[in-house]
């Protein structure tokens, strides 16, 4: 009995030490305040936050926006937690009233609609907001399915310059589909995992070679970079829902095609939502630093239109 207890304590000690080391090695220090510069005059940068499968919205601009840690850290730029430069994507659209964006309410089941429908809602949102704010430039930050929607939107509508899209950051997003075996298991417990969006992602991965899915995504990433869109794809090493190879694009030699990183989740965080390593990326300092970097950079469209 004592031997078993000693072995158990040794294993727990190893797990704790490993967790601490991985956490410290995967997080950059915050960017010092004195090094930060706001976007150039004449450019209005807005961050659109896109949540993933099973998210919801009550129709208010901020109550269900999510991304709390990132929004809080952006106070380094003087942005409030509920800043007017933060816009919430809705799977059912929205409207602009008195210059402010108001997302329509949506239920968790709405997130399972065909991905093309969700992409069109993002298109309408940006067009509607831009009609009221012609100088607006957009940084899209999407988690899970939200990142895939943003990636597909930019691929379809913004691979030619100039573009009002300043940057795109995806977090544990199924850029090249989902493993069918994982989807099949999860669908047995959650009906949303049998939705059209999830089935589409599972079929895409199954047929990735026949459809050339991976090469299409890689080519889209290359073109985004060429036209001046800041692109970063982040994944989590422990994510069993969206494996890093599905979330981060790399070339034939395994080198990343985009900015971003594969980060480590803290397995002792105690967050019940992160049993699958899928949500903790929303609290990673590397993500914060990259979003700040892009927010502070002038967009290609601004550089082209700026008088010499």
pLDDT in the model for residue 275: 59
Which two structure tokens, joined as six digits, stand for 20? 């601490």
Q: Taking a C-beta distance cutoff of 8 angstroms, is the pair 166, 299 a contact?
A: yes
Q: Where are the domains of the chain?
A: 42-305
pLDDT in the model for residue 276: 72
pLDDT in the model for residue 8: 40
Which residues, listed in sequence order, are joined to residue 262 by a DSSP beta bridge?
235
Q: Taking a C-beta distance cutoff of 8 angstroms, is the pair 246, 174 a contact?
A: yes
Which two structure tokens, joined as six digits, stand for 24? 């410290």
pLDDT in the model for residue 76: 94
Helix (H, G, I), strand (E, B) or coil at 171: strand
Name residues of the chain where pLDDT drops below 70: 1-42, 267-275, 300-308
Sign of CA dihedral 62, 65, 69, 74: negative
Q: Taking a C-beta distance cutoff of 8 angstroms, is the pair 146, 281 a contact?
A: no
CB environment 4-42: b (16+ within 10 A), e (fewer): eeeeeeeeeeeeeeebeebbeebbeeebeeeeeeebeee
Contact partners, residue 159, CB within 8 Å, separation at least 6: 220, 223, 224, 227
Of 193, 142, 147, 156, the closest CA to residue 174 belongs to 147
Number of separate helices (H) and strands (E) present in the chain: 11, 8
pLDDT in the model for residue 298: 83
Contact partners, residue 98, CB within 8 Å, separation at least 6: none
User: CA geometry: angle at 204 spanning 168 and 192, to 5°?
Assistant: 80
Determine the Cα–Cα distance for residues 23 and 265; give it in Å rounded to an integer. Answer: 7
User: CA geometry: angle at 214 spanning 209 and 215, to 5°?
Assistant: 100
pLDDT in the model for residue 186: 76
162 prior amide bond cis, ω within 30: yes
Give 42-305's CATH code, choosing from 3.40.50.1820, 3.30.870.10, 3.40.50.2300, 3.10.450.50. 3.40.50.1820
């Amino acid at each position: 009995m004592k031997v078993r207890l000693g072995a158990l304590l040794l294993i727990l000690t190893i797990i704790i030490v490993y967790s601490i080391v991985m956490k410290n090695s995967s997080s950059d220090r915050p960017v010092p305040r004195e090094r930060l510069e706001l976007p150039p005059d004449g450019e209005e940068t807005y961050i659109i936050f896109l949540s993933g499968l099973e998210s919801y919205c009550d129709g208010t601009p901020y109550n269900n926006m999510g991304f709390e840690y990132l929004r809080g850290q952006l106070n380094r730029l003087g942005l409030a937690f509920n800043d007017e430069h933060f816009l919430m994507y809705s799977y059912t659209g929205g409207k602009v009233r008195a210059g402010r964006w108001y997302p329509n309410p949506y239920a968790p089941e709405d997130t399972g609609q065909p991905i093309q429908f969700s992409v069109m809602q993002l298109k309408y949102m940006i067009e509607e907001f831009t009609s009221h704010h012609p100088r607006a430039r957009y940084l899209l930050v999407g988690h899970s399915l939200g990142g895939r929607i943003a990636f597909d939107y930019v691929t379809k509508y913004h691979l030619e310059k100039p573009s009002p899209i300043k940057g795109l950051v995806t977090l544990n997003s199924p850029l090249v589909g989902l493993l069918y075996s994982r989807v099949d298991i999860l669908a047995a417990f959650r009906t949303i995992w049998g939705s059209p969006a999830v089935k589409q992602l599972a079929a895409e991965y199954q047929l990735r070679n026949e459809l050339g899915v991976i090469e299409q995504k890689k080519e889209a990433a290359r073109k985004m970079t060429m036209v001046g869109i800041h692109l970063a794809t982040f994944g989590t090493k422990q994510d069993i829902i969206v494996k890093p190879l599905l979330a981060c694009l790399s070339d034939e030699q395994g080198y990343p095609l985009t900015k971003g990183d594969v980060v480590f989740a803290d397995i002792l965080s105690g967050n019940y939502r992160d049993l699958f390593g899928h949500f903790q990326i929303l609290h990673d300092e590397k993500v914060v630093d990259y979003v700040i970097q892009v927010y502070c950079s002038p967009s290609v469209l601004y550089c082209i239109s700026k008088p010499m």
